[in-house]
Amino acid sequence: MHAQDQIGSYDRESLRRTAGLAGWAIAWAGTLALARFGPASLWDSEAVSWAAVALNVAVGIGWIVAHVRFLRSIDELHRKVVLDALAVTFGVGWVGGLAYVVAENADLVSGDLQVFVALLGGVYVVAVAGGLLRYR
Amino acid sequence: MRNRLKDLRAQRGWTQADLAARAGVSRQTINSIEKGKFDPSLPLAFRLARLFDLAIEEIFEDD
């Protein structure tokens, strides 16, 4: 097999896997929105609400499995970048989350937790981008 | 860790993308190794050594 035939094959495969992972993330967000807003606007049944929550959890588990497979499939430099980003995100989530709980218990804040989840997503994206730039 | 990857690749007329395809990694990984920003794992170092038909220590050396 000539190397020329393979040029970019890793990058193409990596793009395909990243797109697959993004698909899982979008599916999870979609089922989350369905479970969150469905009871108020789409149906009036506790059983359906529980089914929507179960669907969200099932898709979430699929997303986690897809992420683990993604991590195993990428090359070692990209794995390091992603793991570093996950470490930063985990740290921000842990420290920031507990600080938020303490502040809320002290009646200092009463914000929306969704903003914090979005913040964690942003931290992860920025950390991955920073890692990719560092090893450019 | 220093390495001779860039010289060895140039001797064979391979681009970074060529070497990346042969080693099964991204071009960015080859670039980072050549620049000394990233040290490869032992399995990747073995793969690279096999591609150049050399021993690992003939390509990589400790600082």
Domain that holds residue B37: 2-54
Residue B29 sits in a domain of what CATH number?
1.10.260.40
**Quick check: is B27 in a domain?**
yes
**Quick check: is B62 in a domain?**
no
Domain count, chain B: 1
Angle at A132 between CA B38 and CA A69, to 5 degrees: 90
**Cβ-defined contact of B37 to A4 (cutoff 8 Å):** no
* DSSP-derived pairing of the beta strands B2-3 and B60-61: antiparallel
Tens digit of pLDDT per residue, chain B (63 long)?
Answer: 899 999 999 999 999 999 999 999 999 999 999 999 999 999 999 999 999 999 999 999 987
Asked whether the beta carbons of A25 and A63 are under 8 A apart, the reply is: yes
Q: What is the pTM of this model?
A: 0.82
Tokens of A65: 């499995």
- Closest-CA residue of A relative to B18 is A3
**Cβ-defined contact of A9 to B21 (cutoff 8 Å):** yes
